[in-house]
């Protein structure tokens, strides 16, 4: 599992949204590294981490993360994830709860997919395998990944997200969609976590409603923090606001 490692102090492991690699965190990395040791892995199949031939299952990605913690000799970390990265963080919590000292969950949810959502994922997986991802993936995902404010006022972010979407490997897009479709409900996992948690939610997120963030926060005994003028990708859309929220949480989210 390839990763970037920046800064010193509290180990903060951040997992990206689908279909991105660790570059999702580039705009927030320098700011966060003033407060923590920021470790951002490329998940299986994206960036410089190979896909290999495992069956699609986010538990496989969770095992990769735990293996990385072993490699870095990190007993406990603050574990964060955006969207699919949040699903992986919950899978890590199921697999090795003793390794998680705090949670940062960004525009994600604990619920498993309903049938229609699964069918949509399977359709995207099949299209990626059949056609590749050039053109259509970015056209389909940009309007729902980014909030209206970003689409109208942050052309640099729009260009960055389009480029990253165009670079997503088709086989990895298909694998990740099938893995997400198969994920279990994580509500009980969060309810039993017993660790400090920060829930961040983009005010303009078109994929996950604010009610889902509030419900997830209730499971963890906290309240969701709404980030204004951002959609599904706060690390790219509002990195300064995200950094401020995370830096204020870190002392609470980790006990050595």
Cα–Cα distance between 14 and 2 in angstroms, integer?
A: 13
> Residues of the chain with pLDDT > 70: what percent?
98
Instruction: Give the CATH H-level superfamily of domain 3-112+184-249.
Output: Alpha/Beta hydrolase fold, catalytic domain (3.40.50.1820)
Nearest alpha carbon to residue 142 among 207, 200, 81, 87? 207
**Dihedrals phi, psi of 8, to nearest 5 degrees:** -135, 165
pTM of the model: 0.95
**Tell me: the pLDDT tens digits for 51-73?**
998 999 999 999 999 999 999 99
Q: Helix (H, G, I), strand (E, B), or coil: what is residue 217?
A: helix
**Tell me: the pLDDT tens digits for 119-169?**
999 999 999 999 999 989 999 999 999 999 999 999 999 999 999 999 999
**Tell me: the pLDDT tens digits for 3-16?**
999 999 999 999 99
What integer pLDDT is reported at residue 109 of this predicted model?
96
Q: Helix (H, G, I), strand (E, B), or coil: what is residue 197?
A: strand
What integer pLDDT is reported at residue 135 of this predicted model?
86
**Tell me: the pLDDT tens digits for 194-239?**
999 999 999 999 999 999 999 999 999 999 999 999 999 999 999 9
Position of tokens 């260009």? 159
């Amino acid at each position: 599992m390839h990763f970037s490692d920046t800064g010193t102090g509290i180990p903060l492991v951040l997992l990206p949204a689908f279909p991105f690699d660790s570059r999702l965190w580039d705009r927030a990395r320098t700011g966060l590294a003033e407060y923590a040791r920021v470790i951002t892995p490329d998940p299986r199949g994206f960036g410089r981490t190979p896909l290999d031939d495992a069956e699609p299952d986010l538990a496989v990605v969770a095992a990769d993360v735990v293996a990385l913690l072993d490699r870095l000799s990190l007993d406990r970390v603050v574990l964060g994830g955006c969207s699919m990265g949040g699903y992986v963080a919950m899978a890590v919590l199921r697999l090795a709860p003793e390794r998680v000292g705090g949670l940062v969950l960004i525009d994600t949810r604990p619920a498993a997919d309903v049938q229609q959502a699964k069918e949509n994922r399977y359709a995207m997986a099949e299209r990626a395998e059949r056609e590749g991802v050039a053109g259509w993936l970015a056209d389909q995902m940009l309007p729902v990944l980014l909030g209206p404010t970003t689409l109208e006022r942050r052309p640099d972010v729009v260009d960055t997200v389009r480029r990253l979407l165009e670079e997503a490997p088709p086989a990895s897009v298909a694998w990740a969609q099938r893995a997400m479709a198969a994920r279990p409900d994580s509500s009980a996992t969060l309810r039993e976590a017993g660790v400090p948690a920060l829930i961040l939610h983009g005010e303009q997120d078109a994929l996950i409603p604010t009610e889902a963030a509030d419900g997830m926060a209730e499971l963890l005994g906290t309240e969701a923090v709404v980030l204004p003028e951002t959609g599904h990708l706060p690390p790219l859309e509002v990195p300064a606001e995200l950094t401020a929220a995370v830096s204020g949480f870190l002392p609470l989210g980790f006990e050595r």
